[in-house]
């Protein structure tokens, strides 16, 4: 699977570990930085990851910041992205099954490497179930259209 990944300074350390582990598992990983713990602005990293996913250049995206919330807000500004912050197995599973999320945002403040990789495994291996949920996801896409 091709995965675009990015982080701000708060997520830098965890992102580095996740990138290496995902590559070791055989995924093609495109890393948009940041490349140090120096303070940066998270939208600058959410944007290229989100554009890769929305444009079909990546199968999924992973973004890491302190809480996962800021990255989700920034990523969801890109048409075609359904980003969700999640910390529990159920949240990750349902965001894939019911919402067809294509970007997972993680909070480095709350997750260690093992827990984050566990959640990413659920994210990458859970399929969208469609059905009544497809109608709802289509309505989300309509909300993205300019008025």
Q: Which residues are catalytic?
A: 65, 98
DSSP codes of every residue in 59-82: SEEEEEESSSHHHHHHHTTSTT--
Query: How many C-beta atoms lie closer than 10 Å to residue 64's C-beta?
Result: 30
Distance, CA of 50 to chain centre:
8
52: nearest Cα among 70, 75, 85, 35: 75
């Amino acid at each position: 699977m091709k995965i675009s990944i990015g982080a701000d300074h708060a997520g830098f350390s965890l992102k580095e570990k996740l990138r290496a582990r995902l590559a070791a598992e055989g995924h093609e990983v495109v890393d948009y930085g940041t490349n140090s713990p120096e303070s940066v602005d998270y939208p600058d990293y959410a944007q290229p990851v989100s554009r890769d996913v929305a444009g079909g250049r990546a199968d999924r995206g992973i973004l890491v910041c302190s809480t996962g919330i800021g990255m989700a807000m920034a990523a969801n500004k890109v048409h075609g992205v359904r980003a969700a912050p999640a910390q529990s197995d159920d949240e990750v599973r349902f965001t894939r099954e019911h919402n067809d999320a294509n970007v997972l945002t993680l909070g480095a403040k709350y997750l260690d490497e093992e827990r984050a990789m566990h959640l990413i495994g659920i994210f990458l291996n859970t399929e969208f179930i469609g059905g009544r949920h497809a109608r709802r996801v289509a309505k989300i896409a309509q909300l993205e259209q300019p008025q």
